């Protein structure tokens, strides 16, 4: 009779069927699961606790097999009989037992050799060589009993978790990867950087992060659609993979931002060489859906230093990523399509920028901002016909902060929108007061500079109209000045819609600093404006030739043909003023005629 041994608990010996005694028990016949057939205990046997345990194992469909320490198969349930023989080869009936041995060999040796035995849990791949994985969650129980014929037993329980692990792997891939490019995402990039910092001493050298930012990706999305933008991202990912070293890791961490995590970088010079190689590889003409795009990227480099090395790996990873971000921001500010590396000077500037951003909102609330005005005179009558408002900031600790320093920060952070609304209201209020006080005529206009964010805001046009009504001004008494970059940057469609809507209601728009950009002439016809403000470098400064005069005269004629007034900026000399009058300029503005000053000190009469 074949004996079916059941583990009776830790430290116990195999229990025999109640119908037999221990003295009658013969050594179990060594057999492979493939040659045995599971059958329940005889009907005459009264069900006991161990029968119930067996029933539970069968119901759970957990493959269970019990092997003697001497290698003999002592017992198994139906699932166990199915698991191991299924891997038997037709000419090797004992292959099932060899597969069991394969399981045992993956168990720590100390567990098998320790007289106390023990339990091991883990996952084992029972897939055949060259075939798909078959992963089993496995528990191995070892009990030694020198007095038993088999020397004790090893109980093996296996549960198939292949599908579960596959689903978990798919979910992990989704959690760690960007769906558009298939690259690692920001979370995974931080984790890989953390791992790299942990083993930095073993790898040698430094860890560097190259942050790659696609220049003007938003313009591509707005003009050509997100499908083209996504294809550009995917193309960038593929080209980036060919530009980096084999062991470098690539991730996409934001809308237009990629990072390259570089290990064992000897020094910052090598890191910059890698960054330049990436920039060159990603810059050039690219064809997507039969559209030719001129693509460029800006690259920022962060490399480990003593501060990062002394921090925890987790903190260092965040800090290193922040350094690369600061560097790429500097590269974009320097003109795009450039490479920059993080330095202490960049850190200082970044800190100042952050502090300014935080202080700007407070400055607006606490009255630290004020306006100064510079008169704009008729070149013929020498009377002031308008004035330009200039924003000034008196910081309580730093004193006067120049507009060129804080305006870019305000535009970056978006605080330029509420500040711009305040400037518009203050300028209109001052104009109304000048008119009421008799300082200027009813047709006097005020020039106010506007940002791209203001023009892109769908409520901006209504805001302007509301302010005009509040101060009883005609629409043409506001001239909104915008630079070329403002009109042709991102959100171009929204900006142009606002410009056209403003002009329809009678508000005038001026092209500021005309002549400094490559698209200046196209703006005259594509966007349209009412006033052309010649940049000071073009407005016949000292040393200008007769050819320069002819250029200005031609621009004035062109502007007049388009029903535009011409204002010459930065007039500083009498001879310059004479030549501008001769060229036909309508209005002039500059320090020769009056510097920006407080509202009550503006002179409305040209005094030379």
On whether residue 10 sits in a domain, the answer given is: no
Q: 319-329: per-residue pLDDT in tens? A: 999 999 999 98
CA–CA separation, 519 and 19 (whole Å): 102
Q: Average pLDDT over the chain, rounded to whole?
A: 82
- Tell me if 423 sits within 8 A of 371, measured CB to CB: yes
On whether residue 326 sits in a domain, the answer given is: yes
Are 516 and 374 in a shared domain?
A: yes
**What integer pLDDT is reported at residue 31 of this predicted model?**
38
**What integer pLDDT is reported at residue 585 of this predicted model?**
93
Comparing CA positions, the residue from 112, 59, 103 lying closest to residue 83 is 103
Domain boundary among 116, 139, 165: 165
547 pLDDT higher than 70: yes
Are 385 and 334 in a shared domain?
A: no
Are 186 and 221 in a shared domain?
A: yes
Q: 259-269: per-residue pLDDT in tens? A: 999 999 999 99
On whether residue 2 sits in a domain, the answer given is: no
Are 321 and 388 in a shared domain?
A: no
pLDDT band per the 50, 70, 90 thresholds, residue 134: confident
Are 437 and 507 in a shared domain?
A: yes
On whether residue 551 sits in a domain, the answer given is: yes
Is pLDDT larger for residue 576 or for residue 371?
371
The helix (run of H) or strand (run of E) holding residue 201 is helix 200-203
280: left (phi over 0), alpha (psi -120 to 50) or beta: alpha
Are 394 and 265 in a shared domain?
A: no
Are 104 and 188 in a shared domain?
A: no
- Tell me if 347 sits within 8 A of 367, measured CB to CB: no
Mean pLDDT of 389-406: 90
Q: Which two tokens stand for residue 63?
A: 């493959």
Strands 297-303 and 339-341: parallel
Are 379 and 321 in a shared domain?
A: no
On whether residue 547 sits in a domain, the answer given is: yes
- Tell me if 184 sits within 8 A of 250, measured CB to CB: yes
pLDDT band per the 50, 70, 90 thresholds, residue 516: low
Is pLDDT larger for residue 386 or for residue 483?
386
Are 554 and 463 in a shared domain?
A: yes
Is pLDDT larger for residue 543 or for residue 531?
531
For the chain, the domain total comes to 3
Are 149 and 198 in a shared domain?
A: no
What residues make up the domain containing 382?
A: 367-601
Domain boundary among 165, 187, 207: 165
Domain boundary among 123, 143, 165: 165
Mean pLDDT of 324-348: 88
DSSP track, 16-39: PPTTS-GGGPPPPPP--GGG----
Comparing CA positions, the residue from 468, 493, 463, 488 lying closest to residue 478 is 468
On whether residue 360 sits in a domain, the answer given is: no
**What integer pLDDT is reported at residue 10 of this predicted model?**
37
Q: Which two tokens stand for residue 301?
A: 């480099």
On whether residue 1 sits in a domain, the answer given is: no
pTM (predicted TM-score): 0.58
CATH of the domain at 289: 3.30.70.270
Are 519 and 390 in a shared domain?
A: yes
Q: 556-605: per-residue pLDDT in tens? A: 999 999 999 999 998 888 888 888 898 899 999 999 899 999 999 998 88
CATH of the domain at 512: 3.20.20.450
Are 513 and 389 in a shared domain?
A: yes
Q: 66-125: per-residue pLDDT in tens? A: 888 877 777 788 788 777 764 433 344 444 566 676 777 777 888 878 888 889 888 888
On whether residue 28 sits in a domain, the answer given is: yes
pLDDT band per the 50, 70, 90 thresholds, residue 27: very low
Q: Exposed, middle or buried by CB within 10 Å (0-12, 13-18, 19+), for 224?
A: middle
């Amino acid at each position: 009779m074949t004996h079916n041994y059941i583990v009776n608990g830790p430290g116990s010996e195999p229990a025999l069927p109640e119908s037999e005694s221990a003295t009658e028990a013969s050594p179990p016949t060594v057999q492979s699961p493939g040659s045995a057939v599971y059958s329940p205990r005889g009907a005459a046997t009264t069900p006991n606790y161990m029968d119930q345990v067996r029933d539970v194992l069968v119901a759970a469909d957990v493959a269970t097999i019990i092997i003697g320490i001497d290698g003999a198969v002592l017992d198994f349930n139906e699932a166990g009989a199915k698991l191991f023989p299924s891997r038997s080869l037709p000419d090797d009936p004992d292959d099932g037992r060899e597969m069991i041995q394969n399981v045992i060999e993956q168990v720590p040796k100390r567990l098998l050799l320790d007289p106390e035995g023990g339990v091991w849990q883990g996952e084992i791949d029972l897939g055949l060589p060259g075939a798909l994985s078959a992963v089993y969650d496995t528990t191995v129980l070892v009990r030694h009993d020198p007095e038993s014929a088999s020397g004790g037993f090893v109980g093996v329980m296996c549960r198939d978790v292949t599908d579960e692990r596959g689903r978990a792997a798919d979910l992990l891939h989704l959690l760690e990867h960007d769906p558009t490019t298939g690259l690692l995402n920001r979370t995974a990039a931080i984790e890989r950087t953390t791992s790299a910092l942990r083993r930095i001493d073993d790898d040698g050298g430094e860890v560097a992060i190259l942050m790659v930012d696609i220049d003007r990706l938003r313009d591509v999305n707005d003009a050509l659609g997100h499908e083209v933008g996504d294809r550009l991202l995917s193309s960038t990912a593929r080209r980036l993979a060919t530009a980096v070293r084999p062991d470098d890791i690539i991730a996409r961490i934001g809308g237009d931002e990629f990072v390259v995590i570089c290990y064992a970088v000897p020094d910052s010079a090598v890191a910059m060489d890698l960054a330049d190689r990436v920039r060159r590889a990603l810059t050039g003409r690219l064809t997507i859906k039969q559209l030719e795009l001129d693509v460029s990227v800006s690259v920022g480099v962060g490399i480990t230093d003593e501060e990062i090395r002394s921090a925890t790996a987790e903190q260092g990873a965040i800090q290193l990523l922040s350094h690369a971000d600061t560097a790429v921001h500097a590269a974009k500010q320097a003109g795009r399509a450039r490479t920059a590396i993080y330095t202490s000077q960049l850190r200082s500037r970044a800190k100042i920028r952050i502090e300014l951003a935080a202080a700007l909102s407070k400055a607006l609330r606490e009255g630290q901002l004020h306006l100064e005005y510079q008169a704009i005179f008729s070149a013929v009558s020498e009377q002031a016909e308008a004035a330009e408002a200039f924003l000034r900031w008196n910081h309580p600790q730093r004193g006067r902060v120049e507009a060129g320093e804080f305006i870019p920060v305000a535009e970056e952070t978006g605080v330029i929108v509420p500040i711009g609304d305040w400037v518009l209201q203050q300028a209109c209020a001052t104009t109304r007061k000048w008119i009421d006080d008799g300082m200027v005529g009813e047709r006097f206009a005020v020039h106010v500079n506007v940002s791209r964010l203001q023009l892109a805001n769908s409520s901006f046009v209504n805001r302007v109209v509301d302010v005009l009504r509040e101060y009883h001004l005609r629409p043409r008494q506001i001239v909104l000045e915008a630079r070329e970059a403002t009109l042709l940057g991102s959100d171009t469609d929204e900006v142009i819609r606002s410009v056209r809507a403003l002009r329809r209601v009678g508000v005038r728009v001026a092209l500021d600093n005309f002549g400094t950009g490559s698209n200046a002439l196209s703006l005259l016809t594509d966007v349209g404006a009412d006033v052309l403000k010649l940049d000071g470098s073009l407005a016949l400064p000292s040393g200008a030739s007769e050819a320069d005069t002819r250029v200005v005269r031609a621009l004035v004629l062109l502007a007049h043909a388009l029903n535009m007034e011409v204002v010459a900026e930065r007039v500083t000399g009498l001879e310059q003023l004479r030549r501008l009058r001769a060229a036909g300029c309508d209005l002039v503005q500059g320090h020769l005629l009056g510097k920006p000053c407080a509202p009550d000190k503006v002179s409305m009469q040209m005094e030379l």
